[in-house]
Structure 1
């Protein structure tokens, strides 16, 4: 079965055709643009770019810039399909599922954003893999990026498990705030989570990083896509100039974050507080940023790897990802800046 069946193929056809409702078709120009993202530090380029007005400036004063935030990948994908948003920051596995569900018609990846930042954090008395057999472990959502990572890793250990929480280990999806509470209260033995939640488990729950996900990607030197930027495919076809301007704002933001890490943490936290109601404490924020890499390189090989991992644990039917990348707008921007261009699969820049 496919990982998440959010809509039937017929419904997808309808919503994809309406994917440019926010745009004016004359001359490829747009009068409105809506960007989606999550209130997560793994989406720091979105937090910073929105807070500083970089995206709005890049799109131009004649474009009404708006945003929409999400807590789950399926919601963001459905909003992209329906035209509620024109582009969104999102994790790799929801993008893979959206691509598979729409049979490659509904979305394109136009840039990377964030790498690294995933870990299996366990209770302090669990110090080895052997200690985990029979344990209860959590992930943010069935089939999400961290869930696939945990299930693939567990399969490599030779353990049996299922989607109902049974087996040699029990994998129980919970929302991130629930994971933190359950861990602190001793209700779960560990969790595979992204930043800043991994750092929160360590610093607030005295947790132990049993598996740093960077160690699970030797073929890409520890780099793996955590967040990337995707666009509605019809919007890209009809308004490539707007997408290129958005990407230019994204490149500018990522460069600024990497050049100004301390200030970037503050800006991201300010926007995070506005979205969530409370800021992250300084220690968690610094730890989270230290465990992340911000890059516009999509790290394509890791995306294919994520799809293969999901297939191997029975959460995704085999899927052909060729064509999922549309990197010409990004590479145009990088070339104009004198920066190194990036590649999709098999060395292709398309």
Structure 2
């Protein structure tokens, strides 16, 4: 082999890892040529879904969060029990509460009609969270794209890694830190609870604690009207808005509630309870613009958690099933 060819092969070997790295990076223009109408199609589908049911915005944001916290943003949460016996849908934090699967399925079906086998379910879920936020008056942000879908789900990790409604502040901080998210990211992302609803069993202990040091008495009394102290199948599933004041609008009222001891869940109120995140809550309660900006940054950062890219993963044609 000539010295010039040897030199060429040497540079190829040296550059190859960097080329792979570049090709695997997420990009907002990932579908610009392969499916140019992808973003518009998803946006229209999500707007229609939220228009039909305002609550769906919160459900889609939560679905994206619960996906990214388990083996990365790979649409593993969308796989049902027919696809895998380890379906994350059956994990305790998801079963009976995670919803919006059919909205993602509908958006995927529309994309399959115009550019089959191109847009991943993981990217649709990321776009859906952004579009859902904007549809209810929340911030928008630039979504990086190019994720691929997993072929596995992990119910054990879902049970272990997803925050609990009874988590302490230290537990939450550790949980988010393991995913590369800071305390500020955590508080900002928790602000998504400015919309959405929770089931009675998740806040019953809090509203009946009779401890005015941790919950406003009037707030607890109001909540008790829709959530009896005695557990029952029907009663446990009754819903209450996480934000009593503006339950259908994405704003900073969630943080004002925390300062007034009106956080519905224990995991909400611990963000303002004499701990290290009190100052962030106060900041967001007085600056909706700062909250919106930090929420957008945190959502982008969360979307970067262990994505499958390049030759890793697949493009599922049906989000709940394996190809």
Under a length normalisation based on structure 2, what TM-score does the superposition of the two structures give? 0.30
Structure (1/2) with the larger strand percentage: 1
Under a length normalisation based on structure 1, what TM-score does the superposition of the two structures give? 0.28
Structure (1/2) with the larger helix percentage: 2
Whichever of the two has the greater Rg, that structure is 2
